[in-house]
Every structure is written in C-alpha cells, then in structure tokens.
Amino acid sequence: MITATKTVGMSESLLFGAWLKQRRRVLDLTQAELARQSTCATESIRKIEAGALKPSRGLALHIALALHVPAAEHEPFVTFARSSQQMAAADAFRAQSHQVPSPTSTPPAASLYTLPRSLTSFVGRAREVQAVVTLLRRPEVALVTLSGPPGAGKTRLSLAAGQRLQGDFPDGACFVPLASVGGAHMLLPAIAQPLGVQESPNQPLMLTLQRYLRDKRLLLILDNFEQLVAAAPLLAKLLTAAAHVKTLITSRAVLKVYGEHEFPVGPLTLPTIGLLPPPESLLGYSAIQLFLE
Ligand SMILES: Nc1ncnc2c1ncn2[C@@H]1O[C@H](COP(=O)(O)OP(=O)(O)O)[C@@H](O)[C@H]1O
Ligand SMILES: [Mg+2]
C-alpha cells in the first residue's frame, strides 16, 4: 500500500482537493474505489480532497493512473497535486491538459483508449451502423458478433459503430486485431497487448486481465475472431468478470457463447442485374458509391 506523506494547511491544497473530488465524481468513483485503485487508504483520499493532505509523488502518480490522466500529463499533474503554489500549478496543468481544474466546471473524462481512424471514407451502411449502435446500447446486450464472409465489410462496420459508441464509455473503445493470432492460447496475450496490460510472473494472465477489466467502462472490438472460436469459452470467462465492458466481435462464424447477439453482415448493396434502375438512382447503392469514390 502506498502511504500519503505530508500533512498540509487547508488552503494550500484545497484547489487540487476540489478538483480531485470533481473528477472522481465525473468518473463515478467512490472515495473507497479511488483509494483501492490508487493503492492507498480511503482516509488518504478523504484528506486530500479536504485539502488536509498532500499526496506523495508515488501516490499522485497512482491517482493519475486511476483517473485516466494521459501519460504526457503526469508531470504537471504531480506538480499540481503537490505544489504549494496551487494556482500556478493548476494553470500549468490546465495549459497542458486543456482541462479546467475548477470545482465549478466539469472536466471531460479523458478516455484511456481510442479507435484507429480509417484512412478511406466510409460509404453507406447508415442503417446497419444505427442498428449495431442501438443493439449495443441496450442494457441487457453486452456481446454482439458481426458475422459474414470475408470482404463483407465487418471490420469497417465495427469501427464505424465503435466511433459512434466510444463516447458512451468513459474508458473509450479499444480495437484488438486477432487476424494474425496463432491459436486459442494466444487470445489473452493478444487482448492484453492493446490494453497495455503486462503479464505478471506470479499471476495467471486471466486473473490479471479480469482484475484490470473489472472496473473499466469500455467497448472492446475483437476483430477476426473466426480462427479462435475454440477460445470462445475463455473469452466468456474473461467477460463475466467485466460488468461494464461491452464487446463487439467480427467473425466469419458465431462464437456460440451465452448472451451473444449475432448481427449478420451481407455484401454492400448492388442493383439486381437485368433490372437496372435509372442512372440517377444508382448512387443509392453503397457498392456503386464506393466504386465512384
Ligand atoms: N462501408 C464501407 N465503406 C467503404 N469501404 C468499405 C466499406 N465496407 C467495406 N469497405 C472496404 O471493403 C474491404 C473489405 O471490408 P472489411 O471491413 O475489411 O471486410 P471484412 O472485415 O468483412 O473482411 C476493405 O477494403 C474495406 O475498406
Ligand atoms: Mg475484417
């Protein structure tokens, strides 16, 4: 357990304390929850928020991680947390992070994960994107599989739906490419990698990942699951421990796990040969739009 160091006068640390309380509430964390994630005592968080305790450097870094402060902003964050020049340190942190450390404003929750942007434009498929978004927003739906043949557009559809959904998840959305993953035993390392989770020598990776994901509010996109269908029970075991994680999968075949919702993806629409509509309406077909891009 990390211990907080120095006790300070009320006014010195109140600005950081107020900011911390605000940020914690935005992330929907209790003091006890933040303390657990920062490996310190609940009492330390309470005192820091009340401006009665200045965190040690180590504790400040743990708090930064728990609050999803991006790595590039850790130093100004630590200075803000520990400085007796609170106003100046707050300004420096604000300049770096574009977040306003004021108790009256709501800082945007910085997401831990964001999806890769496609380099080419996304054509058509508005109805399918909306349907996938609506499906995953249903409270009882946590796992959706976009199924279909190679080239049907599953990956692109998953990314388009993911872009629309990532704002729903405070920790964002993480894309896990599985196409080159050799066998079922490589599934968990392949998921750990883009999440930035390190395998620890004395703990099974399943447990490490379960513990990591337990408090995360995240959309996971697992792309190309088809050759790992044998590992579907492993995935199910991982996800049962992750109550706030939703998963969007692309796969040629469904996984057949409990709670899976299949969304079949067909090819981009084409007009029926022999019944060609007038040229001006051809743009209504997404495959033709794509061809004309
Ligand atoms: N809606 C779309 N708009 C633009 N390009 C698309 C769209 N859907 C698929 N593509 C393109 O078609 C190809 C196959 O799509 P992809 O999503 O990789 O299919 P799958 O994952 O089903 O194999 C890719 O080059 C992709 O960029
Ligand atoms: Mg694909």
The Cα–Cα gap between 268 and 276 comes to 16
> In the structure, what pLDDT confidence band is assigned to residue 253 with cuts at 50, 70 and 90?
very high
Instruction: Check pocket membership of 288 for ligand 1, CB cut-off 6 A.
Output: no
141-173 confidence digits (pLDDT tens): 999 999 999 999 999 999 999 999 999 999 999
Q: What average pLDDT score do residues 273-288 get? A: 62
Query: Quick check: 278 pLDDT over 80?
Result: no
Instruction: Check pocket membership of 151 for ligand 1, CB cut-off 6 A.
Output: yes
**How far does the centroid of ligand 1 lie from the alpha carbon of residue 178, in Å?**
17
The Cα–Cα gap between 269 and 124 comes to 9
Confidence (pLDDT) at 280: 64
Confidence (pLDDT) at 7: 41
Query: Quick check: 276 pLDDT over 70?
Result: no
The Cα–Cα gap between 112 and 160 comes to 19
Q: Which residue's alpha carbon is nearest to atom 27 within ligand 1?
A: 156
Ligand showing the shortest atom-to-Cα distance for residue 148? 1
Question: Measured between alpha carbons, how far is residue 124 from residues 119, 127, 269, 286 in Å?
Answer: 16, 8, 9, 5
| 3-state helix, strand and coil shares in percent for the chain, rounded to the nearest 5 | 50, 10, 40
Which of 190, 194, 172 has the alpha carbon at shortest distance from 181? Answer: 190
Confidence (pLDDT) at 247: 98
Confidence (pLDDT) at 80: 86
Ligand showing the shortest atom-to-Cα distance for residue 157? 1
Q: Which tokens is 234 given? A: 């492993």
> In the structure, what pLDDT confidence band is assigned to residue 106 with cuts at 50, 70 and 90?
very low
Confidence (pLDDT) at 28: 74
Query: Quick check: 133 pLDDT over 90?
Result: yes
Q: Are 185 and 191 in contact (CB under 8 A)?
A: no
Domains, the chain:
10-97 (1.10.260.40), 126-284 (3.40.50.300)
Which of 32-36, 136-140, 282-286 is least confident? 282-286
Q: Which residue's alpha carbon is nearest to atom 11 within ligand 1?
A: 153
